[in-house]
Amino acid sequence: MLSDDTIVALSTPPGRGAISTIRFSGPESLKIARRLVRLPDAPQARRATLGEFCDADGEAADEVLLTWFPAPNSYSGEEVVEVSCHGAPVVVDYFLRCALVQGARLAEPGEFTLRAFTHGRMNLAQAEAVRDLVEAQTLYQAKVAVQQMEGALSRRMAPLKQELVDLIALLEAGIDFAEDDVSVAPPEEITRRIEALRAPLEEWLASFRFGRVVREGLTMAIVGRPNVGKSSLFNRLLERERAIVTASAGTTRDLVSETLNLEGIPVRLVDTAGIRETSDEAESIGVRRSFEASAEADVTLLVLDAVSGVGEEDRVLMSRFPSAVLVMNKIDTGKNAFDGAQRCSALTGDGISALRRALVARLSEGAAEPGFLTNVRHERLIREGVEALERAADATRGGLPHEMILLDLYNVLRPLGAITGETTVEDILNRIFSTFCIGK
């Protein structure tokens, strides 16, 4: 896991720009950087120093800023040097080639953060949050990732792990020192403590539905009869004119999709053709695609018309889409209502904010902040822990020896430790960090 070589990589996006930053990490970082950058004075820790990047003949190729971070007070826990140059790809490429000649090695994806983990600068859950922050598409995703980087999940898990260790220690003491009359909790006490451990783990599992949506986004399809205002609602939610809107029924014949930021959640919004019986071949294809889009969507909005009210065709659609969010549109001109439907006007915008809040509330049901689960690996490990706790509870109620109960309790401790990295093996680490971008 630990390496004593020095790595280098471009840490800003490739391409032309105002500034590019090249990062070194390892014991030779400053020595290699100083061979490439001519400085007027010796660099001071954590202070940018103006210098010149020189070619093999000693001629200046660019004006740069060099910042030195001595170990262990750096991102990776090793000696780190960052060189900021002008963002010309030819200069960046030449600098990297010169760094390799001087003894550095190109970093693998995620290797800087892997080194930070192996040097104890962050735990595994925090390291995974770094990747989530880099990949964030919305400000809310970034804020959630920062909470995880700051240890929100780890802090919530710490007292739980301590309670589990205390229970394990109690049972171990009872086994090891039984002849010394060390008291052991009765089965009722053990069961109570196991249930106290299981409750917060099940809350985390319940929060994963929302956490996964926050991290990965979702698809939302808008369906309904022709002329109920689906395309108008689509445009209103996007806050721009994307779909064609006319008074003629059947204007939308094919799927129209666009990305929406729904209170920080990235949503692929899909406008569909109006659903009705028709002999028109093109419209029939559009109707079929409407059903397909809804089947593939995570959430379906079924739009109703406040002018015409809820008719037989609407009720048929409700039976076809039983989990759909009902939206009563055109409340600016119609008076009809329907229990459980969100009322709004796509034309005037009335009720749209309430619709957005209702959608987010539905998605976030069962989630608790900070520290809700966003990572499928964490969800799988916590599920393993819950299942092991259930086996431990069954063993306790069945009067099995404490040695058998302890096996299950250790099977709870191991996956919890794997979340933060205490019990994670090398191949799992390599698989996690290989998904990072190079330079991070």
Domains, in order of start, for the chain: 7-122 (3.30.1360.120), 152-213+375-420 (1.20.120.430), 217-363 (3.40.50.300)
Whether 23 shows a pLDDT value over 50: the answer reads yes
pTM equals 0.72
Cβ pair 385, 415 in contact under 8 A: yes
Report, as an integer, the average pLDDT of 43-62. Answer: 92
Give, in order, the Cα–Cα distances in Å from 129 to each of 159, 177, 419. Answer: 21, 43, 12
Distance CA 265, CA 331 (A): 27
The per-residue pLDDT for 426 is 63
DSSP 193-254: HHHHHHHHHHHHHHHHHHHHHHHH-EEEEEEESTTSSHHHHHHHHHTS--S---SSTT---S
How far, in Å, CA of 90 to CA of 93, rounded? Answer: 5
Specify the amino acid at residue 127. A
The arithmetic mean of pLDDT across residues 377-395, rounded, is: 94
What average pLDDT score do residues 101-106 get? 94
Query: Are the beta carbons of 187 and 397 closer than 8 angstroms?
Result: yes
CA distance 201 to 31: 49
Closest C-alpha to 110, from 238, 203, 220, 1: 1
For 253, residues 6+ apart whose C-beta sits below 8 A from its C-beta are: 273, 282, 283, 285, 286
pLDDT tens digits, one per residue of 117-158: 989 898 888 888 888 888 888 888 888 888 888 888 888 888
Look at residue 151 in the predicted model and tell me its pLDDT.
Answer: 82
Residue 15 burial (10 A CB sphere; 0-12, 13-18, 19+): exposed
249 or 195: which leads in pLDDT: 195
Range from 62-76, 180-194, 392-406 carrying the lowest mean pLDDT: 180-194
Q: Give pLDDT, residue 328.
A: 95
**Mean pLDDT of the 8-12 span:** 95
Q: Residue 244: pLDDT band by 50, 70, 90 thresholds?
A: very low
Residue 252 has pLDDT above 80, yes or no: no
Examine the pLDDT at 242 and tell me if it is beyond 90: no
For residue 251, pLDDT beyond 70: no
CA–centroid distance for 146 within its chain: 11
Q: What local confidence, expressed as pLDDT, does residue 40 receive?
A: 92
Question: What's the whole-number mean pLDDT along residues 349-366?
Answer: 86
pLDDT band at 246; cut points 50, 70, 90? very low
